[in-house]
Structure 1
């Protein structure tokens, strides 16, 4: 499938978005001094400061809903990078948004299995209901809709996620009901995983901070019930039938009293081992024995050619 750079289709297929970052709107909340302090907390976790860039970008999104020009500048200043270096990372990964998102991010898997089972029909229906296409936000600011290239849950297809929480085995009607509930301000429980919050909340979680106000709320999210039906079918059938995997054979303890002597013996055996037929070690004659120009894929202009 071909698509113009920066187009919705091109972004959905390749994950690369070459469109410009949208300028900050006047009502965008500023990045506070608290945000800068939290950015420094993230940096302190890593032996090399620039390794902190990915969670810092999530932190920026947790405050402003996307990676704004202000957020790029903050990351560059704190890490000693150029804005271009920060932008190169922010534009590579699809989880970093280049324009303001809605309250919730709805991702519809349209990869092979989900698509065959109805993922594309779900995407088309939600697009029509919301009046948006890929990576666009509904006029009321409630939902940003996007294609997703495999959500790694093929046994639950078709899959939709909201703020990266899973809603499994969806169809057009159930996905429409889900989005309608989100637009009403409701938060239907995911099929599995933590209770739903919003896009900024999950961005804060991805930055390495709790999105919950207190310890009890965080623990409740960890203990939230979830359905793991398809994944556990094999385990349940095995339990019903009394089946189990055979025990792994136990390896015999090494009889060598001296690990260094054993290693030396292995090295000696490797040096004296015959080489496979038709092969020679690369360092035997200073490189490959293949004459120049006769490698597969060359033009044939090697020795002996006219």
Structure 2
């Protein structure tokens, strides 16, 4: 058992949501009976109390980590923020790890990094592990060459985002570790550099999604205009939770941050992975209502392609309902078009 000492005092506080522990633990892999000089910045504890404290913190850390791992295995579609935090171990030095535990005793809190923050290793699964063979197909290999040609030869790593997007399209809407490794090989960087990008942007999915991945904008303008009701209608109609896939594999529902169509709020996007990268599309559906998004789902289920854009028949693109009230004609040209005559 590794010797354990605390780098900072243990802060235990109670609240109405439960007991939260904030532990900053430094694991030093040394024999348990080894003796080291106390750090000048940390008050020395009596030998007995320090030993007992180490045992207590070790048990708490091991128990809590086991609970988190078990919860992650039970709910494969846990939020991106949870799976992101469960993706890495951060080595600070040979044989030393700094692990920061910030947890509450409520699994619903795992949807927000404000409640916890923990680095551990990626957990392999049968459909997501580095031993799975993965490479771009012959058609996409040509696209890879075309994408890389946009960048100087010594800056191929700048193509990481479009290549990850292409890999995600090919793999049915999500990125396994083996696909990230394939991208790293193409742009000649360490795999960790690709992992950093894939885990930072929420547009990259690291768990399976439906052939039609519906994303509801959750930023302020759309929320004020009823985006929560839009999401609730989709989840209820499909019988799933957020980031879960329907039993037929057709649909999944997620949340996206601002998509830049605030004037047409609320809105959703539909990422169509039903035909791979060749038939991939990513369309905006704006001015939607709970009733309209259910109709969109059923049209997609039938294989019908509905026109993207505003779903309000009284609007033209981003114009006001009922048509323009100003700029009713084409704007007049500048008074002098012939520069020589000016």
Superposition TM-score, scaled by structure 1 size: 0.57
Q: Is the contact between residue 128 and residue 176 of structure 2 (CA under 8 Å) also seen in structure 1? A: no
Q: Is the contact between residue 111 and residue 149 of structure 1 (CA under 8 Å) also seen in structure 2? A: yes
Inter-partner Cα distance in structure 1 for 2:171 and 2:230? 29
Inter-partner Cα distance in structure 1 for 2:198 and 2:234? 27
**What does the per-residue CA deviation read over 1:248-293, in whole Å, with 9 as the maximum and x for residues that have no partner?**
9xxxxxxxxxxxxxxxxxxxxxxxxxxxxxxxxxxxxxxxxxxxxx
2:205 is aligned to: 97
Structure 1 residue 10 corresponds to structure 2 residue 117 = no
Flag the 1:135–1:105 CA change in 2: closer, same or farther, 3 A: same
2:325 is aligned to: 237
- Residue in structure 2 matching 1:110, options 218, 228, 239: 218
Inter-partner Cα distance in structure 1 for 2:263 and 2:196? 34
Structure 1 residue 24 corresponds to structure 2 residue 142 = no
The Cα shift of 1:244 comes to 6.9
1:195 is aligned to: none
Larger mean Cα displacement after TM superposition, 129-138 or 86-95: 129-138
- Unpaired runs of 5+ residues, structure 2, are 1-78, 84-108, 114-119, 272-281, 336-342
1:61 is aligned to: 168
| Aligned residue runs from structure 1 range 26-175, under 5 A | 31-47=136-152, 48-65=155-172, 66-163=174-271, 164-175=282-293
- Unpaired runs of 5+ residues, structure 1, are 12-17, 193-225, 249-306
Structure 1 residue 188 corresponds to structure 2 residue 276 = no
Structure with more contact order per residue of length (Cα contacts < 8 Å, sep ≥ 6): 1
Inter-partner Cα distance in structure 2 for 1:42 and 1:173? 40
**What does the per-residue CA deviation read over 1:25-69, in whole Å, with 9 as the maximum and x for residues that have no partner?**
799986434434432332222011101111110111121122122
Q: Is the contact between residue 217 and residue 267 of structure 2 (CA under 8 Å) also seen in structure 1? A: yes
Flag the 1:130–1:168 CA change in 2: closer, same or farther, 3 A: same
Q: Which has the higher strand share?
A: 2
Q: Which has the higher helix share?
A: 1
The CA RMSD over aligned residues, in Å, is: 3.8
Flag the 1:20–1:179 CA change in 2: closer, same or farther, 3 A: farther
Inter-partner Cα distance in structure 2 for 1:46 and 1:165? 27
Count of residues in correspondence between the two structures: 208
The residue matched to 1:67 in structure 2 has which SS? coil
